[in-house]
Structure 1
């Protein structure tokens, strides 16, 4: 009988599991490792604190708790506030019989998506079998969601300035720096990567001084710091109103929240009519600029867009990209009758980052220009033809995802000399499980469908050898892990890839890798549409509003 692996980290001993990767090799799993004190009681809503050492052996063989979120099936609360845990997967551990120190392996830290309201590091959804097979140490983390991770108060004396969820991520990265050698990971070669809200979080960490030195490369999948939906507001009064505390001060609201059950807070959060992924106005939940008067460690005391444009951020190689039909998820998640707002509400598509007052002359003007560009002047009906539906997916892909990624690439190129790469996923195959689950029939690759090529999930099968799914999965994991290893997805001409992926050298000519059934290099994604959005943002004078 094979003994379960036991290792020692700074906080104590861990017992893990022996598993098998996608190529039939063994690897080691350590699940549900706490990296912070439970953010409960007096620590609720506060910045996280490091976990205390424990006695004995921590049994790291099962997933840790989910963070509080909605159960997609029952629509009720699931998870726990005690959820700040991470998983570590490694292809090898150091043996006591080793006379020489074997080389440490590159580390990839995954930050899940979910609109900052849902998601987790569950192994069943983010299995490491493909990535670990490329000789990589993989870490996946949980962070607080919803109001538990993003409560933001005006009164700096209350010491809840916001962004606790991102500070969870920072603390998890500090844990990685402190402990990853115990798993044969190299703390000097850490790549952070994420999808959707997780991609925006990765980009925020690139821009935040709080994360300096904690990672060395960054990979953003369908999200960026220029995604309007990633930002929130000072929301103490909003949550107070939802709990029937309209007349109370922030201090009184906080006192009530500190005593309320997690179920009561969650129910109040669900009552709030916030604009989520279907709109681009500022959301109730998301990243905020913290007041300079707050005597606390700040993720941001200056707006992230200004930091990006200044060039004063963490200079690491970056790989960013999108799925050809990212915006299809917006339509699939919104009630059919609400989709009419894309062409009936003249201002609905005006990006929240422009911070224009709804009803203002400029907001109306830009809104009309956007509708005319995508839908023309004729009558539009959801029922007339599939093409109108397709146009909705184009506007949501561009407005919610691609424009922010494209603009970020251009700004990084102008403000940094470190390598930056861009991709588009256009391959439709059996691994595109989100599109299948949502019953989408439009052409294109849905938001989050790249995950099937990177992770083993309960929703996908390990591809048959030689199938297009198998070839594409091997290519993508090779490209992603090469970037983690070398800061270059194609450091040499790999036969499984067949080309060299050029870095972006000129902000006016953006080469990108199109990942379809075959790989090819193209230039300036959706060029005409992106030039249109450049004009919209120029008219909105983004910088002057921040």
Structure 2
């Protein structure tokens, strides 16, 4: 392969030749800036268009993350300047305008709006690029830098800067992706967790109209409780130790504050995504304006039908709640005895002891059959956390869309307990620091296969709690190459599950249907049926694929009853 200099609308970029996991070749372009550096007066502001550069920009190395802490190591990482960058991966660079263009997939990373980046450590392109698509993986501002929200409209910080970064990246794709062989008229936006909620929000935002044509939401929607923010100047001022209480004074100090101090302050909040706590650094409903990303309640937008109606896939893992063990706060023999954090804040009864007692009593009966919370009820506790943290609001969003979106909608549940369910592996190991050290060894030993094998063999020896079902994030292990993965042997089980997952997702991006061909042995010759107004069809992604209907109905009915009686 040759010819890896591409002339974009902003200037020339030089990429490099990469290998997919099966030995095929593709081009990688890393750290391409899509907006001006958000520094100086642009800190916290909506993104501004990138200015053209002279010469050839080196795009052979990953760009910096946006300022934050590493999700696992918890060390400081990132830079303000050039954190608004994206990576592009393509099999073919066109030599003229007559060559056919390929479907584009734009991925938005998760991390609860306070963690994450587009680096290959977690989002390696080597799996998806076995298919003939163009992949774009986007950085956006997170935490205070991406989601500072001030009530004083004169200050011009209405919130959602991180989501506006994503809009700017999508505009970059529209201007430039054909130079990388991608079709700007066939763009699939997809994301996981906070990236999934972001994807859903782009369906609802007027700023994103026409910038994508299909969407995939993996374990997150705009209705999830952890995706609902509030004006947060006083929160960050408190955690930075400021004495000022008015927004203007706080804002002036924040503009001059060091990056590290802001990052350290934003993690002082003990965030466990508990439903009783509204989170400060995430999407917010802004005051109406031409620049507002979201100025109306998502529920009302969907009900009205005034949104970007595109075909979409949506789903979740069967045991999302195992995620909460990753925080290190859910310990089997030390579960919270009185369910103090399980009453949703949007019931508006927090602080009313009598009403909270009624809700807790109902939760205890439904999930625990009135048993005490002990190590024997850890599985039930994971169900509770996953149902309220993810499943219920995802299904409610889907229920609303069924009434207003005439495009095909495909629902899935990822139930596969496979050998590459790395999030679950990490969450349920009993010796956390031994586990982290072993994962680090596996991560840095990619060039030495025997060391990687040894690390994974040792991982299997670390005791773990036995829980059925995949964790939040586990499906990512089958669509992105992650640095801690063992080498995947052709023809192995891992190879089969990766190729199957990649085929479903790229089929949808290419043709608008995840199973367009009835005869496909890789996909069990199954046809993934779209949902209808009457039938909630879904694909169960397990060791084998199968179709079913009306999943988790008892869960949805239970929480419907709680919410219908919230007053």
TM range (shorter): over 0.9
- 1:420-440 CA-to-partner distances (Å, cap 9, x unmatched) read 111111111221111122325
Q: Supply the RMSD in Å over aligned alpha carbons.
A: 1.9
From 506, 510, 513, the counterpart of 1:488 = 513
Q: Which residue of 1 aligns with 2:491?
A: 466
From 457, 480, 487, the counterpart of 1:455 = 480
Greater Cα shift, 122-131 or 211-220? 122-131
Q: Which residue of 2 aligns with 1:265?
A: 262
Greater Cα shift, 252-261 or 75-84? 75-84
Counterpart-to-counterpart distance in 2, 1:236 and 1:365: 34
Q: Does 1:91 align with 2:108?
A: no
In the TM superposition, residue 489 of structure 1 has moved relative to its aligned partner by: 0.6
Counterpart-to-counterpart distance in 1, 2:76 and 2:70: 6
Q: Which residue of 1 aligns with 2:367?
A: 374
From 345, 355, 363, the counterpart of 1:352 = 345
Counterpart-to-counterpart distance in 2, 1:73 and 1:502: 38
Q: Which residue of 1 aligns with 2:130?
A: 133
Q: Look up the SS of the partner of 2:381 in the other structure.
A: helix
Q: Does 1:412 align with 2:410?
A: no
In the TM superposition, residue 227 of structure 1 has moved relative to its aligned partner by: 0.9
Q: Does 1:59 align with 2:58?
A: yes
CA pair 445-280 structure 1, distance change in 2 beyond 3 A:
farther
Q: Does 1:320 align with 2:314?
A: yes
Q: Which residue of 2 aligns with 1:284?
A: 280
Q: Look up the SS of the partner of 1:129 in the other structure.
A: coil
In the TM superposition, residue 263 of structure 1 has moved relative to its aligned partner by: 1.1
Q: Which residue of 2 aligns with 1:426?
A: 415
Q: Kindly indicate whether the alpha-carbon contact (under 8 Å) linking 2:28 and 2:60 is maintained by their aligned counterparts in 1.
A: yes
Q: Look up the SS of the partner of 1:110 in the other structure.
A: strand
Q: Does 1:389 align with 2:378?
A: yes
Q: Kindly indicate whether the alpha-carbon contact (under 8 Å) linking 2:275 and 2:388 is maintained by their aligned counterparts in 1.
A: no
Q: Which residue of 1 aligns with 2:74?
A: 75
Q: Which residue of 1 aligns with 2:439?
A: none
Q: Kindly indicate whether the alpha-carbon contact (under 8 Å) linking 1:65 and 1:80 is maintained by their aligned counterparts in 2.
A: yes
**What are the equivalent positions in structure 2 for 1:105-116 lying under 5 Å apart?**
105-116=102-113
In the TM superposition, residue 375 of structure 1 has moved relative to its aligned partner by: 1.6
In the TM superposition, residue 536 of structure 1 has moved relative to its aligned partner by: 1.9
Greater Cα shift, 74-83 or 226-235? 74-83
In the TM superposition, residue 74 of structure 1 has moved relative to its aligned partner by: 5.2
CA pair 463-113 structure 1, distance change in 2 beyond 3 A:
same
Q: Kindly indicate whether the alpha-carbon contact (under 8 Å) linking 2:70 and 2:116 is maintained by their aligned counterparts in 1.
A: no
Q: Which runs of 5+ in 2 are unaligned?
A: 430-464
Q: Kindly indicate whether the alpha-carbon contact (under 8 Å) linking 1:4 and 1:18 is maintained by their aligned counterparts in 2.
A: no
In the TM superposition, residue 357 of structure 1 has moved relative to its aligned partner by: 4.0
- 1:426-471 CA-to-partner distances (Å, cap 9, x unmatched) read 1112211111223253111011011111011111135323322222
Q: Which residue of 1 aligns with 2:8?
A: 9
In the TM superposition, residue 141 of structure 1 has moved relative to its aligned partner by: 0.3
- 1:115-140 CA-to-partner distances (Å, cap 9, x unmatched) read 11111111232111221211000000
**What are the equivalent positions in structure 2 for 1:435-446 lying under 5 Å apart?**
435-438=424-427, 439=429, 441-446=466-471
Q: Look up the SS of the partner of 2:521 in the other structure.
A: coil
Q: Look up the SS of the partner of 1:140 in the other structure.
A: strand
Q: Does 1:47 align with 2:46?
A: yes
Counterpart-to-counterpart distance in 2, 1:445 and 1:73: 19
Q: Kindly indicate whether the alpha-carbon contact (under 8 Å) linking 1:281 and 1:353 is maintained by their aligned counterparts in 2.
A: no
CA pair 464-432 structure 1, distance change in 2 beyond 3 A:
same
Q: Look up the SS of the partner of 1:299 in the other structure.
A: coil
Counterpart-to-counterpart distance in 1, 2:370 and 2:249: 51
From 517, 539, 547, the counterpart of 1:521 = 547
- 1:77-122 CA-to-partner distances (Å, cap 9, x unmatched) read 2111220000000110113xx6x71211000000001111111111
Counterpart-to-counterpart distance in 1, 2:356 and 2:46: 37
Q: Look up the SS of the partner of 1:309 in the other structure.
A: helix
Q: Look up the SS of the partner of 1:191 in the other structure.
A: strand
Q: Look up the SS of the partner of 1:152 in the other structure.
A: coil
CA pair 15-145 structure 1, distance change in 2 beyond 3 A:
same
Counterpart-to-counterpart distance in 1, 2:213 and 2:276: 31
Counterpart-to-counterpart distance in 2, 1:189 and 1:406: 27
TM-score with structure 2 length normalisation? 0.89
Q: Look up the SS of the partner of 2:122 in the other structure.
A: coil
Counterpart-to-counterpart distance in 2, 1:349 and 1:29: 45
Counterpart-to-counterpart distance in 1, 2:287 and 2:236: 20
Counterpart-to-counterpart distance in 2, 1:272 and 1:444: 30
Q: Kindly indicate whether the alpha-carbon contact (under 8 Å) linking 1:480 and 1:489 is maintained by their aligned counterparts in 2.
A: yes
Q: Kindly indicate whether the alpha-carbon contact (under 8 Å) linking 2:337 and 2:372 is maintained by their aligned counterparts in 1.
A: no
Q: Which residue of 2 aligns with 1:544?
A: none
Q: Look up the SS of the partner of 2:565 in the other structure.
A: helix
Counterpart-to-counterpart distance in 2, 1:396 and 1:73: 21
CA pair 363-218 structure 1, distance change in 2 beyond 3 A:
farther
Q: Which residue of 1 aligns with 2:36?
A: 37
CA pair 189-74 structure 1, distance change in 2 beyond 3 A:
closer
Counterpart-to-counterpart distance in 2, 1:349 and 1:244: 30
TM-score with structure 1 length normalisation? 0.93
CA pair 339-252 structure 1, distance change in 2 beyond 3 A:
farther
In the TM superposition, residue 24 of structure 1 has moved relative to its aligned partner by: 2.6
Q: Which residue of 1 aligns with 2:449?
A: none
Q: Look up the SS of the partner of 1:86 in the other structure.
A: strand
Counterpart-to-counterpart distance in 2, 1:134 and 1:102: 18
Q: Look up the SS of the partner of 1:520 in the other structure.
A: strand
